[in-house]
Amino acid sequence: MTQTSTTMEPLSARIPSDLYLWLAQLKVEGANTNSDKLRVLLGQLKRQHDGAFDFVTALAWCRDLAARPRAALAQLEADTGRHSEVLSQALEHLSHAMALLISADLSSLDQAAQLEDKLLRRSFAHTESLLRQATTPQAAAFDPAVVLRHLGATLQLAQAIHRLQQDPPKGV
């Protein structure tokens, strides 16, 4: 775990006025002044940089990036009393997949194969969670028909694969 320094160091920079105005208007949770915003944003940049070398750090950073939609989803669920497992799982899946990509080292064929395996395992786990939603007449989603509406082609492919495994073509 990284330690946070309690010593503050001054930082001075000249930036274009359009960036200054953007920063002044930017909403950053837990930061009101431009100095506070810079501290938070530099901390996020550091997590991004560190995440390029470590999956857990990359996952935390990706979850930070998705904090706004996660918070909006939580608020929507609180306001409406409805919950979407489908959307929650999609957000988590995307954070994990991005963290795998960001932290991957692809300097060898073995490492590329490992990333491929991890991404496919994650993707099929997400697919399985969506298929579980299709086992009931209505998915746990804001649109209860959303899973069944998009399932057709996937089912056809799965059935074709199943038939091929049961009766493989001769001479291939």
- Candidate from 29-33, 75-79, 81-85, 94-98 with smallest mean pLDDT: 29-33
28 in any annotated domain: no
pLDDT at 172: 58
Contacts of residue 145, defined as CB under 8 A and 6 or more positions apart, other chains included, come to 138, 139
CB 92 within 8 A of CB 130: no
43 in any annotated domain: no
Each residue's pLDDT tens digit, 6-54: 788 888 889 999 999 999 999 888 888 999 999 888 888 887 777 677 8
133 in any annotated domain: yes
Q: Is 62 exposed, middle or buried (0-12, 13-18, 19+ CB in 10 A)?
A: buried
Which residue reads 């998009």 in tokens? 150
63 in any annotated domain: yes
Q: 1 pLDDT exceeds 50? A: no
pLDDT at 51: 65
120 in any annotated domain: yes
What whole-number distance in Å separates Cα of residue 102 and Cα of residue 172?
Answer: 39
CB 13 within 8 A of CB 2: no
Q: Structural domain tally of the chain?
A: 1
Task: Record the tokens describing residue 73, joined without a space.
Answer: 């989803």
145 in any annotated domain: yes
83 in any annotated domain: yes
Contacts of residue 118, defined as CB under 8 A and 6 or more positions apart, other chains included, come to 100
Each residue's pLDDT tens digit, 113-161: 999 999 999 999 999 999 999 999 999 999 999 999 999 999 999 999 9
More confident residue, 107 or 50: 107
CB 138 within 8 A of CB 145: yes
Say what the pTM is: 0.73
The domain of 90 spans 52-166
Query: Residue 6: enclosing H or E segment and its boundaries?
Result: none
158 in any annotated domain: yes
